[in-house]
Each structure stands twice: as C-alpha cells, then as structure tokens.
Structure 1
Amino acid sequence: MREAFGASFGVEPGYLNTAGIGVPPDFVAESLHAAITRWSEGRISAAEFDEPVARAKEGFAELVGVPRERVTAGSSVSQLVGMVAAGVAAGTSVLVVEREFTSVTFPFAVQRDRGVRVTEVPPDRLLEAVPEHDVVAVSLVQSADGRVFRPEELRAVAERHGVRVLLDVSQAAGWMPLELEWADWVVGCGYKWLMAPRGAAWLATRPEVLELQRAHGANWYAGQDPWSNLYGLPLRLAEGAGAFDASPDWFAQLGAAAALDWLRTVDLPAVREHCMELAGTLCAELEVPSPDSPIVALDATHASAELSAAGVCCTARDGRLRLAFHLYNTEDDVRLVSEALRRSSSAPLR
C-alpha cells in the first residue's frame, strides 16, 4: 500500500508502466466494485450514469484548461480523432511527426480517398514545417520516448500562419499542468495518467471549428434529450459538443468521474515536480540525458528479464524499454531499476 497526494494505492513496488496503464486510487476501484456488485444483483439503472459522464467531462475540461461546454465524451482517442478527420475539407494537408502514435495518424490517413494528405517530419522539424500545412496533429508528449512539444511554441507558429492544431494529451494530462483553450482540438484518453478505466476518452473542440466535425457515430446519447430521443426520425442532435457524444461505457465513465474529481483537487505542479525528480534521478544514476517528461526510454531491452525478476513492470516500445513515473512512484522504484540494470549486461544506455 502506498500513500500519495492524499490517496491510497495498492500498486506494488516497481510499477513503472503508467504510460501504458495507470493505476487507480483505491477509492476509484472501490466505486467500480460497488457498481459491479449492484449490477450483479439487478440494482442498477442506465440513467444513473448520466451524472458521472457529466462530471468526467468537467474534470477533463479543468485538467486541460478548456471550458466544459466544449467537451465531447467518447471511448477512445482514435474514435474521437476520426470525427475530426472525417470533417476536414477534401485535399487538407495534415502534418504529423515520425513515429507518432497511430491513433493520431491513422484516422487522417484513411481519408486519402478524399485527397487528405498526411506528411511525416522528424520531430525537430515540426515547427518549421507547420506553415506548409492546413492542420498539425501531434501528441504533446510522445508515447514512445516521452519527448515533449512545447505548446506555447506550437501555438505561436500555428496562429501566425493560420494552421489548425489537434493535440493529443493522453501522455500529458494528469501530471502536466495544461492551459490549452487556444488549441482547435484537444483529445485524450483516461486510462493512463488520469488513472481511469479504459473506455473513457474526451475531445475538446473550439466553437469556431465545431462545424467541421462529422458525427459519423451519431447515436441516441448525442440527442437533445437522450432519454426522449430513443426512437425514430427526424435527426435531433444536441447543440454544441454534445452532438458528438458516444453512447457511454458506464463503468469506465463512473471510474473516470471518481478519478478526475480527485485529480482536480491535486497540486499538479507538485505532481510534475515529483515525477520529473524521480525520472531525472534515474537518468542521473544511469548517466543518460535528463528526460523531457516522466517517460524514460532506454536502449536496454537486454535487461528485460533482469528487470522483470526484480519486480519492475515496464514495456518495450519502438525497440526500447519505456519506464514511466507517476505520482504513486517513489525512490524505491528508482532503486529497483538501477540495481537491476547494474546486474544485467553492460550494454550502453542512451
């Protein structure tokens, strides 16, 4: 059992896989257990989940710094980006970085029959390439290696040249303080740093570009009054971002509401400092460059067995080991990794 920022976590020492799956505070898991128990006893109703859906939207809005009324609730990043990609004009030129997570790139790439063009550039060329395109779509923190793109720099060049911006904050929201009201689209999933169950994701859209999206997943929950719009035509979608809501994954939204309610009360600058200090300490001990984020990517796949034997849980991504520190991690986790790597072969890290 660990205590962090006023919450308890059942996470075991060595868990460094938040970039893949975040671990919830105990009270989040307990709320799900209680709901599943009521479900198994036939004491549950669909309408009771409307309130958690709304709370989770509010939590996401606050954590990324956008107004609540801009937020659409969905189930995954790719599903939400797909609505954006389906609505951009034929012939739109979309800029992405090489090795970007495919939930950001694939939804645009499948629009090639409409002439939508997706161009990859090396990460260090992103800003200089922005003026040549109509839309730039990028993860604020890169999944594979934790590289961070500074939002203020991207905003400055995009606004100067009239380029639309889609930001994926799946690897940023929950540890990085964010103020992204300026971005055209902000998308993120809940099951990583937000410590919610998989099946909850959100998209914040600026009003100026809302009409560009296509509600190709239009459903009863996106109606003006969902419970009065279950049957028949005509089409009667909600006004604003609600017109793009997906029919919710009840338990994922319930857990997300609990997790985000709590995260809204947490000192995120302190969370960032805590995570970066741990990641920086590990890099210093291993004599590798300081990280941009709490994600540390190491050329150490040779040490996978040694790390696993030591109780370290991490993942291999893009040919490297990926370790991720969150608010529930401690110096004990740093020690487990550094000692295991010393016991492994002496292949260089970088």
Structure 2
Amino acid sequence: MTLAPHFAGGRDYLAACTLGLPPRATVAAVSADLQAAASGRPDVAAATRAVEDARRSYAHLVHAPVSGVAIAAQTSVAVSLIAAAVPDGAEVLCPEGDFASLVAPFAHAGRGVRLRSVPLSRLADEVTAETWLVAFSLVQSATGEVADAAGIAAAAARAGARTLCDLTQAAGWLPVDATLFDATVCHAYKWLCAPRGVGFLTLSPALARELRPVHAGWYSGDDPWASCYGVSAPLASDARRFDVSPAWQAFVGAAPALALFASADPAAVHAHTTGLAARFRAGMDLDEPPRPSAIVTWPDAEGCALARLTASGMIASGRAGRARVAFHVFNDEGDVDRALSALRGRLSAPLTVAL
C-alpha cells in the first residue's frame, strides 16, 4: 500500500520527527467537524466514536490488546502516572540525553527516587538488581539511534526490572510490538501524522495492577457518561481506567490518520523510510547505524547545514548541536537528492544566517 497519495504535501519536508503532516482524510474530518460545530450542530457522539476508533487502530498498529491501551494527551502526563508508582528510593535507569518528557517525571518524582543515566549502547548492560524500571525511547529524538529493544527487555526481565518504552519517534515507520514492554507511551503527532493532543499508554496487566489512577476523571469510568458527577461510579476494569478526558477534535482528526497507518504494510513502510535515509547517508558519506533509522543526524554545532537546507526551501530541524532530517511515507528519492544538492557546498565558506 502506497501512502504518499493520501497526503497533499510532503515535497522537501524532512521534519516528520518534529511534526507529521496530516493526511487528506484528517484534514477533511477536522474541517467537517469544525463546520458542523460552527453551524450549531457539534457531534459529540461522533467524536466519542473517533476516540475508540483511534484506540483500536493504535492497538492494532503496536500489536497490543485494546484492553491494554489508555488514551493520553501528552507523554509526560502518561509517564507521571508510572513515576508516581516508583517505590521510595528506587532506581530508574535511562539513556543519557533521552527526551525530557520521558525522564523529567522521574527526575522530579522526589521520595528519594534515583534516576541514573548511561549511554544508550550500554543500557542493557547497566541493569542491576537495584533497578526498578528501565525507561528509554525506542528511537532517540536527538540522534535517530534505534535502541536494542529486545536486548534491553531481556536484561530487565533477568533483573526483575520493569520497562517503559517511548514509541513517539518510532511508531509510524518502525514496526513495534508494545507487548515486549511493561509500558509504552506515544504521542501521535509526529510519525503517525495525527493532530497534537492525541497520545497513548499501553500497560501490561501486571504493571497496571501496580498503578493508581491518579489522573482519574469522568472518562476513566466504566461508563464515562455515568461518571460525570460524584465518586460512586466504578472505574473501568481495563486500561481505560487510566484514560484522560479526550480532546475531541484532535481525536476526530487522529482516527483516520491512525487507520491509515494501521492498514499499511509495516515492513514496506520501514523499507521505504530507511531506504531513503540510507540513500542520504551514502550521499553524505555517513556511517550506517547498527539498526537502520529513518532519522539521520550529523554534527552541525553552528547550524550551517540546517541553514543551507532552509535557504533551499527545505524543512529540516536541528537538535543538540546536530542537523536532523527525517524521511517518511510522503517523501521520495527526489527529496533526498535535493537535500544532498543543497548540502554539497558544506565544506566551502559557511552560510551566514542573521538571527
């Protein structure tokens, strides 16, 4: 299944790792919802169906049971649910330089919780009997490096530690299996091309039993529409007890985007995106990573490479002193070749950008 025709744009856009482009169906769904609301006919029932459609599509995409998927609005809020369950004084192990939304809730958990950071390449080796949780991004935002998920999960299991994996920079181009981990989080506005404000939390039954629904609200109820008032209504018996109140319009747009990616061939998407990245690395004479990635980064402390791409009309990004480009389903070899052409003068006098 070729996904490019489902997008109106994408040429010279190399920043899916920053913000995904909405597919045509998402634009149509949100536009129709806005028009209905503007005419005095908002459809709350349809928005609620969109939430559940999005949940099912996401569960299919990451190979998780629907009963194990909770909806979220931000990854940091979902992570804070797990941070609240870390025992006093326990150790949380994470990679150096991982994204703040994943690690900050543990750094500020208090109660003597210890956050220890090590190089990603050594994460599995550093798990000890003192480690309560290993928290890491499957794909690093700053570098595009893909973690050895199976090795990390196996090391954690041997030590009796739990695992939390952030799929935000992976789901949508990298085939993932959320059941490999005790918990995963994902914000869908990047590679899944959904509106911002749509996220997901997956939980194993064992970890779910250890968590308190500290963000419980009306949508956490077994029957949300019967949970609007008071505290007598029971919470859902599955992961929905950890739901937050959904941003309806965002989910209206997310449902068709997630359905699109859930229906795609994950192997084909992976081959397409990593193939374009490999073509770019070859043109830049960059080393191939141990595990293929759709994100390519290289040192660019002064921002010269990013400035060249921008001056050529291309949209890219820079993170942690590195230039960063990403290749998604709406990109093709022409995008790669135009980016390389823009960068071929990188060894000559740097382009000066007025700030």
1: distance between equivalents of 2:298 and 2:12? 16
Aligned partner of residue 134 in structure 1, secondary structure = strand
| Alignment of 1:155 onto 2:157 | no
Distance between the aligned counterparts of 1:225 and 1:71, measured in 2? 16
How much does 1:235 deviate?
A: 5.7
1:120 is paired with a residue whose SS is strand
The question of 1:299 aligning with 2:299 is answered yes
* Residues 61 and 71, structure 1, Cα contact 8 Å, conserved in 2: yes
Deviation string, structure 1 residues 199-253 (Cα, Å, up to 9, x no partner): 0000000011112223222111111211112112336322121111010001111
Q: Deviations over 1:147-185 (max 9, x none)?
A: 011221112211112110000000111111112313100
Matches within 5 A, 1:1-350: 4-5=2-3, 7-112=5-110, 114-131=111-128, 132-234=130-232, 236-291=234-289, 292-300=292-300, 301-346=303-348
Does structure 2 retain, via aligned residues, the 8 Å contact 1:88–1:212?
no
Q: Could you tell me whether the CA contact under 8 Å between 1:175 and 1:268 is conserved in 2?
A: yes
Distance 1:249 1:81, change over 3 A: same
What is the Cα deviation at residue 47 of structure 1? 3.0
Q: CA RMSD in A?
A: 1.7
**Normalised by the size of structure 1, how large is the TM-score?**
0.94
Q: Supply the distance in 2 between the matched residues of 1:149 and 1:30 (Cα, whole angstroms).
A: 36
Q: State the Cα distance separating 1:7 from its structure 2 match.
A: 3.5
CA contact 1:70–1:240 (8 Å) conserved in 2: yes
Q: C-alpha distance in 2, partners of 1:272/1:239?
A: 35
Q: Deviations for 1:292-327, whole angstroms, at most 9, x for unmatched residues? A: 311000223212222112111011101111100001
Tell me by how many angstroms 1:49 deviates. 1.6
TM-score, with normalisation over the residues of structure 2?
0.93
Q: Give ranges in structure 1 of 5+ residues lacking alignment.
A: none
Alpha-carbon distance change, 320 to 71 in structure 1, aligned in 2, over 3 angstroms: same
1:122 is aligned with what amino acid? Answer: P
1:255-304 C-alpha deviation (Å, 9 max, x unpaired)? 11111111111111011000111100011011111243110002232122
Say which SS state the counterpart of residue 95 (structure 1) adopts: strand
Q: Any idea what SS the aligned residue of 2:336 has?
A: helix
Could you tell which deviates more after superposition, 337-346 or 184-193?
Answer: 337-346
State which drifts further: 44-53 or 326-335: 44-53
Between the aligned partners of 1:50 and 1:12, the Cα distance in structure 2 is 30
Query: For 1:181, what is the secondary structure of its paired residue?
Result: helix
Residue identity in the other structure for 1:304: L
Identity of aligned residues (%): 39
In structure 1, distance between residues paired with 2:195 and 2:74:
11
Retained in 2: the 8 A contact 1:303–1:345? no
Residue 124 of structure 1 and its aligned partner are, at CA, apart by 1.9
Aligned length: 345
The amino acid that maps onto 2:8 is G
**Cα contact 1:85–1:213 (8 A) shared by 2:** no
Quick check: 2:86–2:132 contact (8 Å CA) kept in 1? no
**1:12-61: CA deviations, max 9, x gaps?**
42100000001122111111111111111111132322211111111111
Paired with 2:143 and 2:349, the residues of 1 have a C-alpha distance of 19
Q: Could you tell me which amino acid in structure 2 is paired with residue 199 of structure 1? A: G
How far the C-alpha of 1:191 sits from its partner, in A, is 0.3
Aligned residue type for 1:43: R
CA distance in 1, matches of 2:154, 2:307: 45
